[in-house]
Amino acid sequence: MTSKTKQEWREGCLAPVIKRSPERQDKFETTSGIELDTVYTPEDLVDFRYVRDLGYPGEYPFTRGVQPNMYRGRIWTIRQYAGFGSAEETNQRYRYLLEQGQTGLSVAFDLPTQIGYDSDYPQAKGEVGKVGVAIDSLQDIETLFQGIPLGKVSTSMTINATAPVLLAMYIALGKKQGVDPSKLEGTVQNDILKEYIARGTHIFPPRPSMRLTTDIFAYCAKNIPRWNTISISGYHIREAGSTAAQEIGFTLANGIAYAKAAIDAGLEVDSFAPRLSFFFNSHVNFFEEIAKFRAARRLWAKIMKERFGAKDSRSWMLRFHTQTAGCSLTAQQPYNNIVRTTLQGLAATLGSTQSLHTNSFDEAYAPPSEEAVTVAVRTQQILAHENDIGNVVDPLGGSYYIEYLTNELENKASEYIAKIDNLGGAVVAIEQGYQQREIQDASYSYQREVESGQRAVVGVNKFVSPYPKITGLIRVKPEVEKRQRERLAQLKKERDNSKVSQTLRCLEDVARGKDNTMPAFLECVEAYATLGEICDVLRKIFGTQREFLVF
């Protein structure tokens, strides 16, 4: 009647049912190819020891969360990635979001800004203000944060190749507002390795890029102690088509490369490691995502403690921002995206994220409208305040399935890290195209699954139906580019151009040598040198990196 073991149950209870009516699929797998059993029981966790494998929240290995009471103390930071058009428009959006109860800002920059070109550069044509806000000089940053006291918000900036320049602008603005740099709070993405792997907004070759990265580490450790100097990003690796296990493996391997580079530059591990932060995707497979976050935390704690010998417990903590999966949104039946985003947002919070961006339902069409972004913010507020997700820490801890899956993902990710170690580390592996190739393979097989119907996407390859037209889409007008160019021309006319040339020359000297570049960047931006001018100096010295083509 009642089975004593899983095997007994499988034979006595399960088998007859399956024989009578076959299951929906021959086998059930996660996106990382982990094959799933019908049910998980204590038998699947025979080696499992509570204190060793899970531990308490706020303690090594942090599987259950980095703070002891997590969201009972403070709800995660609600941080919507936003920015489009001109600095004025974006400033309005920020003020709107803060009014709606958002608790942190997240700046999206346009592509010319990300690749170090001013708005008047020929190749910037058509791109100005499109995927984010256009920033040419300190002047634009001043407009962007008009009326927002930098001492009171935390700001995350998705900026990589040009991270030190934008950070310098932010510091300069803080100084103008009378905010001491030590009071500034926020994050620069500053993760160049994943740009080569997945996102593409790199400028220089890996090695000088890594130097700029570690310059930020060293500068912030000394001057802006509460700044997250890097946000090592799995998000874009996942968006590019990787599996969940690859997302952790490749991202932590990048983390290892940065830590090594910083140590090689003479920094002590505990001086910079507490400010390393991460950025992950929350994708469609609900439980795999929750387990992924838990596995990433445990794995990073072990890496920092065992591999790098970090002693400060804050160096062991993997703190991360999450964004729900942009690539899971569909243009068809856009309200379905609210459902997807809710599930993904929930997975992130059950995985104990520190901050969260929920996508807006119209993002498959355009930058989110005010209405859509409001629903996205409300979704987080519902999770926090109505669903009471945050009342118990790591609520899924102990679940046989979740713990099993956490172990599996940790194992698979460790294998990727070992493989990359073998190749000589993340930088060398990228140069050889290893990660890129792996991601291409995974992404291709995912696409084939969707096209064959083996993997359902509701409204796209299954349950297709007509859908209402979304109204109120945001369109970035061509005037933005024109205005931006005019403003730039005027700036160049009015600023003290001899001072600009002087600071740029000084930057050139520093870049050729070994000193930290940050003070030189700060001088340039304070003289209103433009981003393009600054990057031109560096392009001359560092050279530029072509794509590592792998096919």
Partner 1 sequence: MTSKTKQEWRENCLAPVVKRSPERQNKFETTSDIELDTVYTSEDLTGFDYLEDSGYPGEYPFTRGVQPNMYRGRIWTMRQYAGFGSAEETNQRYRYLLQEGQSGLSVAFDLPTQIGYDSDHPLARGEVGKVGVAVNSLQDMEIIFDGISLDRISTSMTINATCAPILAMYIAVAKKQGLALDKLDGTTQNDILKEYIARGTYIFPPKPSIRLIADTAAYCSKYLPRWNYINIAGYHIREAGATATQEIGFTLADAIEYVKAIVDTGLDVDSFAPRISFIFQTHNNFFEEIAKLRALRRLWAKIMKERFGAKNPRSWMFRTHIQTGGVTLTSQQPMNNIARATVQALAAVLGGIQSLAVSCYDEGHCIPTEESVRQSLRLQQILAYESGVTDVVDPLGGSYYIEWLTDELEKRGAEYIAKIDSLGGAAAAIEQGYQQKEIQESSYRYQKEIESGQRIVVGINKFISPSPKITLLRVGPEVEINQKNKLAKLKKNRDNTKVNQTLKRLENVAQNNDNTMPAFLECVEAYATLGEMCDVLRNVFSTQREFLVV
Q: Which is nearer to partner 1, 181 or 274 (CB)?
A: 274
Q: Contacting partner 1 (CB under 8 A), which of 33, 68, 149, 478?
A: 68
Residue 371 contacts partner 1 per CB under 8 A: yes
Q: What strand order describes the sheet that includes 154-157?
A: 81-82, 105-107, 154-157, 185-188, 227-228
Q: Characterize the bridge pairing of strands 185-188 and 154-157.
A: parallel
Which 303-362 positions form the footprint of partner 1 (CB under 8 A)? 313, 328, 333, 335-336, 338-343, 346, 361
Alpha-carbon distance 496 to 515, whole Å? 26
Q: Which is nearer to partner 1, 263 or 457 (CB)?
A: 457
Q: Contacting partner 1 (CB under 8 A), which of 77, 160, 285, 484?
A: 285
Residue 547 contacts partner 1 per CB under 8 A: no
| Least Cβ distance, residue 270 to partner 1 (angstroms) | 15
Residue 57 contacts partner 1 per CB under 8 A: yes
User: How many residues in the shown chain lie near partner 1 by CB under 8 A?
Assistant: 98
Q: Which is nearer to partner 1, 18 or 473 (CB)?
A: 18
Alpha-carbon distance 216 to 229, whole Å? 6
Considering only the stretches 65-73, 87-95, 235-243, 432-440, report the one whose residues sit in contact with partner 1 under the rule CB under 8 A.
Answer: 65-73
| Least Cβ distance, residue 62 to partner 1 (angstroms) | 11
Q: Characterize the bridge pairing of strands 185-188 and 355-357.
A: unpaired
Q: Assign residue 49 a region (left: φ > 0; alpha: ψ between -120 and 50; beta: otherwise).
A: beta
Q: Which is nearer to partner 1, 282 or 545 (CB)?
A: 282
Q: Contacting partner 1 (CB under 8 A), which of 176, 211, 287, 502?
A: 287
Written as one letter, the residue type at 87 is A
- Beta-carbon-side half-sphere exposure of residue 225 (alpha carbons within 13 Å): 4
Q: Which is nearer to partner 1, 385 or 437 (CB)?
A: 385
Q: Contacting partner 1 (CB under 8 A), which of 92, 143, 271, 374?
A: 374
How many CB atoms are located within 10 Å of the residue 460 CB? 14
Residue 41 contacts partner 1 per CB under 8 A: yes
Q: Which is nearer to partner 1, 47 or 547 (CB)?
A: 47
- Beta-carbon-side half-sphere exposure of residue 298 (alpha carbons within 13 Å): 25
> Could you tell me if 360 and 368 are in contact, meaning their C-beta atoms sit under 8 angstroms apart?
yes
Alpha-carbon distance 231 to 191, whole Å? 6
Which 177-216 positions form the footprint of partner 1 (CB under 8 A)? none
Considering only the stretches 20-28, 148-156, 260-268, 429-437, report the one whose residues sit in contact with partner 1 under the rule CB under 8 A.
Answer: 20-28
Which 244-273 positions form the footprint of partner 1 (CB under 8 A)? none
Residues in contact with partner 1, shown as a per-residue x/- string from 440 to 459 under the rule CB under 8 A: ----------------xxxx
Written as one letter, the residue type at 324 is T
List all residues 6 or more positions away from 442 whose beta carbon is below 8 Å from its beta carbon.
Answer: 241, 242, 243, 246
| Least Cβ distance, residue 108 to partner 1 (angstroms) | 22
DSSP 118: -
| Least Cβ distance, residue 410 to partner 1 (angstroms) | 18
Q: Residue 313 CA to chain centroid, in angstroms?
A: 23
Which 402-441 positions form the footprint of partner 1 (CB under 8 A)? 402-403
Q: Which is nearer to partner 1, 76 or 542 (CB)?
A: 76
Q: Contacting partner 1 (CB under 8 A), which of 183, 207, 463, 486?
A: 463
Q: Which long-range contacts (CB under 8 A, 24 or more apart) does 328-332 make?
A: 328/283, 328/284, 329/359, 329/361, 329/363, 329/364, 330/364, 330/457, 330/458, 330/459, 330/460, 331/364, 331/365, 332/459, 332/460, 332/464, 332/467
Residue 95 contacts partner 1 per CB under 8 A: no
Alpha-carbon distance 121 to 58, whole Å? 49
Residues in contact with partner 1, shown as a per-residue x/- string from 378 to 407 under the rule CB under 8 A: xx-xxx-xxxxx-xxxxxxxxxxxxx----
| Least Cβ distance, residue 323 to partner 1 (angstroms) | 17
| Least Cβ distance, residue 476 to partner 1 (angstroms) | 22
**Taking each helix axis from N to C terminus, what angle separates 518-526 and 206-223, rounded to the nearest 10 degrees?**
80
Which 464-503 positions form the footprint of partner 1 (CB under 8 A)? 465, 468
Which 96-135 positions form the footprint of partner 1 (CB under 8 A)? 100-101
Written as one letter, the residue type at 83 is G
| Least Cβ distance, residue 372 to partner 1 (angstroms) | 9
DSSP 178: T
Q: Which is nearer to partner 1, 341 or 354 (CB)?
A: 341
Q: Which helix (H) or strand (E) holds 538?
A: helix 531-542
Q: Contacting partner 1 (CB under 8 A), which of 375, 409, 417, 522?
A: 375
- Residue 528 token pair: 């209103």
Considering only the stretches 33-41, 132-140, 145-153, 176-184, report the one whose residues sit in contact with partner 1 under the rule CB under 8 A.
Answer: 33-41
Across 224-253, b (16+ Cβ under 10 Å) vs e yields beebbbbbbbbbbbbbbbbbbbbbbbbbbb
Which 74-93 positions form the footprint of partner 1 (CB under 8 A)? 74-75
Considering only the stretches 8-16, 142-150, 435-443, 512-520, report the one whose residues sit in contact with partner 1 under the rule CB under 8 A.
Answer: 8-16
Q: Which is nearer to partner 1, 329 or 488 (CB)?
A: 329
List all residues 6 or more positions away from 197 whose beta carbon is below 8 Å from its beta carbon.
Answer: 236, 237, 240, 250, 254, 430, 435, 436, 439
Considering only the stretches 163-171, 202-210, 281-289, 421-429, report the one whose residues sit in contact with partner 1 under the rule CB under 8 A.
Answer: 281-289
Q: Contacting partner 1 (CB under 8 A), which of 18, 418, 473, 489?
A: 18
> Could you tell me if 135 and 109 are in contact, meaning their C-beta atoms sit under 8 angstroms apart?
yes
